[in-house]
Amino acid sequence: MPNDSPQSPASVEKISLPRTSESETLKKIRHTTSHVMAMAVQKLFPKAQVTIGPWVENGFYYDFDNPEPFTDKDLKAIKKEMNKIINRKLPVVREEVSREEAERRIKAINEPYKLEILADIKEEPITIYHLGEEWWDLCAGPHVENTAELNPDAIALESVAGAYWRGDETKAQLQRIYGTAWETPEQLAEYQRRKQEAQRRDHRKLGRELGLFIFADPVGPGLPLWTPKGTVLRSLLEDFLKQEQLKRGYLPVVTPHIARIDLFKTSGHWQKYKEDMFPMMAEDEESRQAEQGFVLKPMNCPFHIQIYKSELRSYRDLPMRLAEFGTVYRYEQSGELGGLTRVRGFTVDDSHLFVTPEQLDQEFLNVVDLILSVFRSLQLKNFRARLSFRDPASDKYIGSDEAWEKAEGAIRRAVETLGMEHFEGIGEAAFYGPKLDFIFQDALEREWQLGTVQVDYNLPERFDLEYVAEDGTRKRPVMIHRAPFGSLERLIGILIEEYAGDFPLWLAPIQVRLLPVTEEQLPFARDVVSQMRSLGMRAEVDESGERLGKLIRNAETEKIPVMAVVGAKEMESNSLSIRTRAAGELGLIAVPEVIDRMKDAIANYREF
């Protein structure tokens, strides 16, 4: 791997690649290609039944019900068959039929899934698209007019995957084939190049290369171990947020990792969240039977609630903002785990705000303001805000409709007040309340929730929380759950990919490395480093004794932002030859000036 040497054309974007949603042409191409693929599959696998085959942002897929799962080898054969179909230059013909006629024809070819799809189509007439004489599918279109408009060299089949019919785990598992299709072979090549490029930013790869974290088989899946460098990163992010929270009146707390099962029965976790919790620890079989045991905490809220409840609170104490970097454990399904973005043990930058109903709106806005300012400081710009509401049809939630409506109302008012762009995610709520979530994308365009704010009327009720109001009566506070990072693990995963491993100076695990030209300069270099360290900078000397070219190469590969070459002339003039990753060689600079500039840059979240 040549790493990112200056010669490599870093990220020159020669060819522009439209996304499907932005290009009518691509929509047609991909739609038709998915039909061609389905036709090819049914030719090679006559038992395969078709279901749906839409375009997606980078290509298309089609789900089949086939007695045998497809393998990578099958994909090759399918692609070959597709080429044949395309080369036959089949016309793509739209036909409108009545519902009865569509039903009759589907029954004639025995395609039960199509029948279900037909039942869901509201409008008439029903549109059917024919590929030549021998194959057709229910489809709204649009399509190209002839398969000759497709270029076999601009099409690639990518992978097979299981997918549930209608996205429902309890329904049949279908075989999904993913593919991609473009206008020209050049576009396909560019798409594949960018995909490779994205893989180079993958935090799992960079995390290993930069020595930030590891996973160890004997420890277990989804349980990251943080190396010294990774721990620096974590601590810096924690300290940064702690300072922001200090300014805003948060109160730090610390709570244990385990608790009696009863705590989670009161909160409702045991009833609604049990599947996501590690199994109970019981002292003996009798205790196990009686459900008398301890569990690892999947969330911090019940613990913070206990602290709130430990004294009688006055309205004068509110809002009370209890904050903790609380490590929680969730028994995620094995197939869900991956890198730092989905793990089984992670640290939430958690806080629970206990507020009066009158304070709710303002406090919610304050939290959103904090979250947005955190994202700004971290230079995270590409996110979407999601209103995560409950699915009224599901039974996975606790609490009354009234409480839910009040909480959802508070979130709606907040985004309206802020004029914030957002979308709604039905069924995305926590089991105890609705959320405002901030959704980010990783290098491979998968979406992840980071920051979150939640309004909760339910847990205060279940734990019978109170405060004494001005008039002396006992009233119930409202809770806001919030986490700007979401979790340190996921945040760092996203940050690594966002920065492509090039951390800003203030976050870099090693900020500056001194590179002695010969051993002669070692003592001087060590002295400069100790000056820097005494000022809190993360500095080190390369003691390897290799030649300068190698020292630079190593520092570049490790993505160290500032390199300082020390040779005879630097030593003589008490200066350093500075080379930065971002700007290259900056020439000779006196040691005190280097230190001042470093200090200034770090304090102001700027580069050297």
Residues in 311-330 that interact with RNA by CB under 7 A:
330
Which tokens sit at 144? 């190209």
Task: Single out the residue of 91, 125, 185, 221 in contact with RNA (rule: CB under 7 A).
Answer: 221
Cis check for the bond before 125: say yes or no (omega within 30 of 0).
yes
DSSP 276: G
Which of the stretches 289-297, 353-361, 412-420, 538-546 binds RNA when contact is defined by CB under 7 A? 538-546
Provide, rounded to whole angstroms, the least separation between the CB of residue 81 and RNA: 18
3-class DSSP assignment, residue 1: coil
Which of the stretches 219-227, 231-239, 316-324, 462-470 binds RNA when contact is defined by CB under 7 A? 219-227
Which tokens sit at 312? 């009688």
What are φ and ψ of residue 569, in 5° steps?
A: -70, -30
Between CA 153 and CA 189 the distance in angstroms is 10
Task: Single out the residue of 547, 583, 593, 604 in contact with RNA (rule: CB under 7 A).
Answer: 547
CB-CB neighbours of 448 under 10 Å: 18
Question: Is 517 near RNA (CB under 7 A)?
Answer: yes
Which tokens sit at 132? 């030549």
Residue pair 150/184 in contact by the 8 Å Cβ criterion: no
Between CA 436 and CA 430 the distance in angstroms is 10
Q: Which is nearer to RNA, 105 or 274 (CB)?
A: 274
Contacting RNA within 141-200 (CB under 7 A)? 159-164, 167-169, 173, 175-176, 178
Provide, rounded to whole angstroms, the least separation between the CB of residue 188 and RNA: 17
Provide, rounded to whole angstroms, the least separation between the CB of residue 72 and RNA: 5
Dihedral, 149, 155, 159, 164 alpha carbons, nearest 10: -20
Task: Single out the residue of 544, 573, 574, 604 in contact with RNA (rule: CB under 7 A).
Answer: 544
The dihedral built from the CA positions of residue 596, 597, 602 and 605, taken in this order, carries a sign that is: positive
Contacting RNA within 573-602 (CB under 7 A)? 577, 579, 581, 585
Q: Which is nearer to RNA, 106 or 387 (CB)?
A: 387
Contacting RNA within 92-151 (CB under 7 A)? none
Question: Is 204 near RNA (CB under 7 A)?
Answer: yes
Provide, rounded to whole angstroms, the least separation between the CB of residue 75 and RNA: 9
Residues 6 or more apart in contact with residue 140 via CB below 8 angstroms: 127
Q: Which is nearer to RNA, 229 or 579 (CB)?
A: 579
Q: Which is nearer to RNA, 139 or 160 (CB)?
A: 160
Residues 6 or more apart in contact with residue 604 via CB below 8 angstroms: none
Which of the stretches 147-155, 333-341, 411-419, 533-541 binds RNA when contact is defined by CB under 7 A? 333-341
Task: Single out the residue of 59, 268, 302, 339 in contact with RNA (rule: CB under 7 A).
Answer: 339
Contacting RNA within 472-491 (CB under 7 A)? 483, 486-487, 489-490
DSSP 163: E
DSSP-assigned beta bridge partners for residue 94:
129
Q: Which is nearer to RNA, 149 or 238 (CB)?
A: 238
Cis check for the bond before 523: say yes or no (omega within 30 of 0).
no
Q: Which is nearer to RNA, 325 or 467 (CB)?
A: 325
Which of the stretches 11-19, 331-339, 352-360, 377-385 binds RNA when contact is defined by CB under 7 A? 331-339
What are φ and ψ of residue 429, in 5° steps?
A: -70, 160
Q: Which is nearer to RNA, 85 or 299 (CB)?
A: 299
User: Count of residues binding RNA (CB under 7 A)?
Assistant: 90
Question: Is 228 near RNA (CB under 7 A)?
Answer: no
Residue pair 187/180 in contact by the 8 Å Cβ criterion: no
Q: Which is nearer to RNA, 1 or 254 (CB)?
A: 1
Between CA 322 and CA 337 the distance in angstroms is 30
Question: Is 337 near RNA (CB under 7 A)?
Answer: yes
Dihedral, 553, 557, 559, 560 alpha carbons, nearest 10: -40
Provide, rounded to whole angstroms, the least separation between the CB of residue 390 and RNA: 10
Contacting RNA within 551-570 (CB under 7 A)? 552-553, 556-557, 563, 565, 567-570
Q: Own/partner pairs for 14-17, CB < 8 Å, 24+ apart?
A: 14/190, 15/186, 15/187, 15/190, 17/182, 17/187, 17/190, 17/191, 17/194
Question: Is 211 near RNA (CB under 7 A)?
Answer: no
Question: Is 343 near RNA (CB under 7 A)?
Answer: yes
Between CA 403 and CA 352 the distance in angstroms is 18
Q: Which is nearer to RNA, 139 or 163 (CB)?
A: 163
The residue type found at 430 is A
Contacting RNA within 245-274 (CB under 7 A)? none
Between CA 379 and CA 336 the distance in angstroms is 28
DSSP 8: S
CB-CB neighbours of 150 under 10 Å: 26
Q: Which is nearer to RNA, 392 or 545 (CB)?
A: 545
Which of the stretches 78-86, 123-131, 220-228, 590-598 binds RNA when contact is defined by CB under 7 A? 220-228
Provide, rounded to whole angstroms, the least separation between the CB of residue 156 and RNA: 13
Q: Which is nearer to RNA, 168 or 311 (CB)?
A: 168
Burial class (CB in 10 A: 0-12, 13-18, 19+), 233: buried
Between CA 555 and CA 561 the distance in angstroms is 8
What is the DSSP annotation of 523-540?
A: HHHHHHHHHHHHTT--EE
Contacting RNA within 394-413 (CB under 7 A)? 396
Between CA 21 and CA 555 the distance in angstroms is 42
Question: Is 217 near RNA (CB under 7 A)?
Answer: yes
Provide, rounded to whole angstroms, the least separation between the CB of residue 444 and RNA: 5
Show the site string, 275-294: x = touches RNA by CB under 7 A, - = not. Answer: -x------------------
Contacting RNA within 60-79 (CB under 7 A)? 69-72
Residue pair 32/183 in contact by the 8 Å Cβ criterion: no
Contacting RNA within 12-71 (CB under 7 A)? 69-71
Which of the stretches 214-222, 252-260, 361-369, 405-413 binds RNA when contact is defined by CB under 7 A? 214-222
